[in-house]
Chain A
Amino acid sequence: MVRLFIIGIALILSSCMGWMNQDVNIDLPPHIPRIVLNSVLADGDEEVRLNITQSVGMKDTGSIVEGLRNAHIQMSINGVGVDGFRFMPVENEYRVNHPISAGDRVEVAIDVPGFTSVSSQTDIPHPSQLLSARFGSANDGMGSIPMREIFFRIKDSGEGKKYYILKFAQQREGTPLRTAIQLRSNIPWIVPIYPFNVGLESTPIQGESMELQVLVNDMYFSGSDPNVESYLILETVDKFYYEYQTAYYYHRNGQQPELFGGEPVPMPTNVINGFGVFGGAARHMIRIE
């Protein structure tokens, strides 16, 4: 009898899932594949890394992550050519040794047989400073996961508008530093960056310093644990990379819009004739008290 009951429940659940989630047949126009360039160059990097792939139609078969191996890359940094890119099969990307510094202007052009050629450029920003960071209290969002407040003070250099990505990092004794820890904020203009971080513009700081708040899962609270060190990393990024990352969060939400979802968000690109992003970044890190 119990078994019959369980089977009955399973059948009901299965039919409910089938009711909620059904296949749809639709005809799509053919997709013309384009080159996808994804790369972020950071102040202090010793090598340049480029991920070059291709786009695929939604109903077509093919990999979107496998690198295109026959790309011809022309790059210049501050007007000086950079040669010697090699495709690294394990890392699935092109690499060349060359130092990257704040203030560099990097230009790139890529040819791949069978595809329209693409080009892009980026400027490596100068880093902004975090002045202080401290933990606050635990705050329970909707009674689910307790979140720990982190207050940080940021200093804006005042030279034009800046774009920041904020990351939480932690180092436990005997393990390397890691950043893949979810941050979020209740301040509406501190926006989520998929999958872990948050972003903000310098507009509110107006050339001054300002204390702001973000939240991290309370299990990462290290205030009373001497074996754990917590850090905040402030990445100053170029405007286009910032727009790409903030748009991606909403773009990804729009892929499954749910109850209050809005219009799908098209992804911006600064790769001419192609897709993807070619961005620049500079980091500053501070320990959380």
Chain B
Amino acid sequence: MKQLFLLTLSLFVVGQNLAQERLSGYVQDKETGEKLYGATLWIEGTSRGAHTNFYGFFSIDLPVSKASLRVSHVGYKSQILEINLAEGNHQIISLQPTLDLAEVIVEENRELSFEAKPQISAINLPARQLKLLPAVGGEIDLIRGIQLMPGVQGGKEGLTGMYVRGGGPDQNLILLDGVPLYNVGHLGGLFSVFNPDVIADATLLKGGFPARYGGRLSSVLDVKVRDGNRKQMRTEGAIGLASARISNEGPIAQGRGSYLVAMRRSYLDLFTRPVARIISGGSHAFGYTFYDLNGKVGYDLSEKDKIHLTVYSGHDRGVVNSRDTSNIRSSNHFQWGNQLATVRWNRLISDQLFSNLTLGYTNYNFDIALDHENPNKEQFYYFGYTSGIRDLNIKYDLEYYHNKNHIFRTGGQVIYHSFVPGVNAISSAESQTRMDTTFGSQNVKAWEASYYLEDEWRISDRVSANLGVHLNNYTVEGENYFSAQPRATFRVSTGPRAALKFGYAQMQQNVHLLSSTGVGLPTDLWVPATAMTRPQQSYQWTAGYHKMLKEGWEFSVEGYYKTMTNLIAYSDGVNWLEGASDWQEQIEREGTGRAKGVEVLLQKKEGKWSGWLGYTLSQSERRFANINGGEFFPDRFDRRHDIGLTLAYQLKDNVTFSASWTYGTGNAITLAEGRYAVQMDETIGLTSGGFPGTAFVEHYEGRNNFRMRAYHRADIGVRFTKKKLWGERTWNLGFYNAYSRANPFYYYWTQERNFFSNPNPDGPRVLKQIAIFPIIPAFSYEFKFFSPW
């Protein structure tokens, strides 16, 4: 692997000497100085263009030393620059944000649009587009926006689940400034961890993964945190029904750098604590809260060296404290959270060679603890359960703009994983006698080394490709898993602004998620691939047709087929923490999955009207040897038809209306076909008449063999913005499930009742549907303060 890396480097050095007529530089926001990811540069009168990388850098070959360059980005006014390389070949290009959507004139050929890139199955959601979505529960949520895109299912209603092309919630590589986050839900998934005020841009890849990505089977969600304002100090925030948030940003060292700090906190505990105290007469308290803390500092060490520090900490915690009259104290709590830190050093080695060194740390942990203390009798008791995963990683990436036909990318990464897949600890003390015990699953340490090589190759004016390979070597418990994962995407132009695209990606994932619910709760257990439990793998083929229509409309249709191997699941009847045995004794392994589908997307990102319409026709199945008789069964969130419609409309300069509508085939459910008497655990001294009489056993013939009724829902939102002397304020009103559709949340069987509502125990059972979310209004108040200095 080392030789391969050196060979690649030497190729770059040789290639450097051959380059000519090149312009490089950065594209940034004119008002804030923030670098813009995904800005496009187009050489007027040619079919050639480029786009900025994650750090806002570009490098483009010009046919002659003088050229007109059109630069654009969603939410910014396009700019045409007359380039004369004799005056310098490095430029900082500043784009002016469009504050008024009506100003946006959607032009054809104004950008290197999506159909012109070889990347397939990509969805980009810039912050400006995200903020136009309806605010559910008073909060605009990145994941809820992504759920409306084709190929992405949201899982259970109300939760921020993400199931991409038949994959599980663990199969999404969610990167915050390049470092993975393991659990992205608060309050059991009702909110995601992404504070909308700090997101600059988010890109979701569902297939055709470039070689630089690895480690998950089904998707990559690459979230870029805003750098902070380099021109002016600014404070903004919002107060909603469930949480409040505030952020502050500004320049450092006269604009050579910037900082951003943001915090979001729920205030549920402000209600629950006093209520619990009143009910208990002051002896008890119960609180639940979550928070997110984001921080980022960017600093230009020199014109060629930039350094970025990103930190994130998010936490959920529920606690019950009590103290009785005899001074006996007890406390119970559960908590989970992510901590993430990354330092990145961008170095522009030459105008063709861009490098980035990343040092990253990410930690996810879930804890339950109870402790009891009786000082009068010198008694102490503690129980704790903890599970989690901690990664340390170092990564080096090189991006080499060889010539107009090739962009090479290469890099390597080493990750040290430390897994705690469920450890119990008990300490007890009584009159000077102390006992400490630790037991449960064994902690596992693992090393992962990966290397990639990628060539973005413009084969001809009509054909381009991105070819690459991702090599991964995972070492755990003396076992070595090596995989060479080929990646390829091809684009063939079929006419003006239209292209056919093809993609293939093989992926390997060295972590698994054991979930008893399948909805991605914090109680789910992250476990490593081990000598006994192999890494999961996927193989995905994708083909699509992409066309840029008139007035900024984008159209795409894609088909995919994906197979997955070495999946794991809890054995039937096993719960997440049941028993104190090792998790490997309680699972089904070597499961397989297959998913196929067709996705259609019609999208308009800019203008007075914007939004998208997505449709997905799909099927997703699983198979385990000991589940469903070893036959394939539908995945829980398999949906045959799925529609997502989003619209945003600027009514006036200060009023924006937004709406979304979603439709999906009912979820696959396991429904009982028979029933029989249960053997209740025996009691002593109780007559049978005192027993709950409705207990029985349901008999299932298969897994997920029935469908619930179809799901559909509309959300609407309105934003009223007003300039104030101190800055700007926005009232954000929203309605969840605007027409109050009774969507099925779950089905259950109940006894048939006669006219007088008396149940008939021997009669046939009646199937009932429960719906839980009617129309829910919500609002939030947002504010922005601008500092005059």
Contact = CB atoms under 8 A, between A and B. Distances in A.
B320 interface: yes
A260 B188 contact: yes
A195 B772 contact: no
A55 B679 contact: no
Nearest to A269: B697
B756 interface: no
B258 interface: no
B670 interface: yes
A70 interface: no
B575 A250 contact: yes
Given A143-B276, A210-B437, A186 B677 contact: no
Contacts of A264: 669-670, 672, 698, 700
A63 B681 contact: no
Contacts of A257: 746
A179 B769 CA distance: 36
Nearest to B573: A247
A193 interface: yes
B322 A203 contact: no
A158 to B, nearest CB: 15
Contacts of B673: 28-29, 31, 57-58
Contacts of A28: 671, 673
Interface stretch (A79-87, A110-118, A133-141): A133-141
B695 A29 contact: no
Interface string B579-595: 11100000000000000
Interface in A193-240: 193-197, 201, 203-204, 206, 210-213, 233
Contact of B332 (A24, A59, A139, A179): A139
B679 A276 contact: yes
B449 interface: no
Interface residues of B, number: 102
Contact of B518 (A24, A176, A246, A262): A262
Contact of A169 (B320, B330, B684): B684
Given A26-B767, A142-B320, A180-B683, A19 B774 contact: yes
Given A28-B673, A186-B383, A213-B372, A195 B680 contact: yes
A191 B579 CA distance: 8
Given A143-B276, A143-B286, A264-B698, A211 B381 contact: yes
B368 A188 contact: yes
Interface string B146-179: 0000000000101000000000000000000000
A179 B290 CA distance: 40
Interface stretch (B228-236, B237-245, B456-464, B757-765): B757-765
Interface string B499-516: 000000000000000011
Contacts of A187: 370, 383, 385, 424
B670 A186 contact: no
Nearest to A142: B286
A24 B680 contact: no
A151 B188 CA distance: 31
A101 to B, nearest CB: 18
B330 A136 contact: yes
Interface stretch (B192-200, B344-352, B685-693): B685-693
B380 to A, nearest CB: 11
B682 interface: yes
Contacts of A245: 681
B726 interface: no
Given A189-B424, A204-B424, A140 B276 contact: yes
Contacts, number: 288
Contacts of A144: 279
Interface string B286-314: 10000000000000000000000000000
B357 interface: no
Contacts of A259: 156, 158, 188, 745, 772
Contacts of B280: 140, 143, 146
Contact of A26 (B329, B677, B706): B706
Contacts of B276: 140, 142-143
B709 A213 contact: no
Given A24-B767, A201-B581, A54 B676 contact: yes
Interface in B703-761: 703, 706, 709, 740, 742, 744-749, 761
B374 interface: yes
Interface residues of A, number: 98
**Counting chain B CB atoms within 10 Å of each CB, which of A193, A201, A246, A267 scores highest?**
A267
A160 to B, nearest CB: 14
B47 interface: no
A136 B332 contact: no
Contacts of B277: 143
Contacts of A246: 573, 575, 578
B697 to A, nearest CB: 5
Contacts of B515: 262
B786 interface: no
A137 B686 contact: no
Interface string B369-387: 0101010000101010100
A7 B478 CA distance: 73
Contacts of A63: 761-762
A36 B370 contact: no
Contact of A62 (B368, B670, B695, B762): B762
CB-CB nearest 4 A-B residue pairs: A143-B276, A178-B685, A137-B328, A140-B284
23 contacts: A24-B768, A51-B679, A58-B749, A58-B765, A137-B322, A137-B328, A139-B322, A142-B276, A143-B286, A151-B381, A167-B683, A169-B684, A180-B685, A201-B580, A203-B580, A211-B428, A211-B435, A212-B426, A255-B749, A262-B517, A264-B698, A266-B573, A268-B573
Given A20-B742, A151-B381, A189-B580, 7 more contacts: A16-B774, A25-B767, A58-B765, A169-B685, A178-B686, A189-B579, A259-B156
Interface of A: 16, 19-26, 28-29, 31, 33-34, 36, 38-40, 51, 53-65, 136-144, 146, 149, 151, 165, 167, 169, 176-180, 186-189, 191, 193-197, 201, 203-204, 206, 210-213, 233, 243-248, 250-252, 255-268, 275-277, 279
